[in-house]
Chain A
Amino acid sequence: AQSVTQPDIHITVSEGASLELRCNYSYGATPYLFWYVQSPGQGLQLLLKYFSGDTLVQGIKGFEAEFKRSQSSFNLRKPSVHWSDAAEYFCAVASGTYKYIFGTGTRLKVLA
């Protein structure tokens, strides 16, 4: 069965530090992968997506993610975190033609 694992429930980083959020997926075919961010009281906003081609994907707000098929991973990175990046981050894989399977999320706290 398809699944998405985000092993880190909480992560705390200092403002200006680099960030990496982990995502591992289980999916038999070529996956369509997404990262969404959810700020408090807000809906989910798409940061970036991977369908095919270049395995390093650039997104909004300075985020990027790298697809590694051999490791079944799609980790999200940012070189320098801003206080406004504090939020919850969800990784998702598209199952079939439309259904998303989400991970349980990683809550990011940014220290001033």
Chain B
Amino acid sequence: GAGVSQSPSNKVTEKGKDVELRCDPISGHTALYWYRQSLGQGLEFLIYFQGNSAPDKSGLPSDRFSAERTGGSVSTLTIQRTQQEDSAVYLCASSPRRSSYNEQFFGPGTRLTVL
């Protein structure tokens, strides 16, 4: 079956512009996660969804970052007024349900470059 997909694969934007990054999880997966991977850094947790709810937004770096999930499926990560330090690869993952036992399946990521 299809894996986790993300779009766009690459996004170049100018400082101050807003961007939207999309994630399509594996069908039937109720848990969805966003991570940020910066150069030389590990993966940084941003936000977690269970269904359409986000019980843990603790990793969002600032109020310029927001995310939503609709229909228990597609999720959008929005970055407003982008800054150069937002440049990174944004990875989405999904799992069948919320549990440490469950493998998280990752998408290929969106590489964001802020000029």
Q: Interface size on B (CB < 8 Å)?
A: 28
Give the residue of A42, A103, A104 whose beta carbon is less than 8 angstroms from that of B40.
A104
Residues in B with CB closer than 8 Å to A46 are 103-104
- Stretch in B61-69, B71-79, B80-88, B105-113 with 4+ CB within 8 Å of A: B105-113
Known: A94-B100, A97-B98. A43 touches B42 (CB 8 A): no
- Given A41-B108, A43-B91, A43-B109, the answer on whether A98 and B31 have CB atoms closer than 8 Å is yes
B41 at the A interface (CB under 8 A): yes
CB–CB B41/A99 < 8 A: no
In the bound complex, how far is the Cα of B45 from the Cα of A101, in angstroms? Answer: 8
B43–A102 touching, CB < 8 Å: yes
Q: Is A108 an interface residue (CB 8 A)?
A: no
Name the prevailing secondary structure of the A interface residues.
strand
Q: Are A43 and B4 in contact (CB under 8 A)?
A: yes
Q: Does B70 contact A (CB under 8 A)?
A: no
For the complex, give the distance between the alpha carbons of A70 and B35 in Å.
Answer: 30
Q: Which residues does chain A contribute within 8 Å of B108, judged by CB atoms?
A: 41-43
Q: Which residue in chain B gives the minimum CB-CB distance to A103? A: B42
Report B55 CB to chain A, min CB distance, Å. Answer: 9
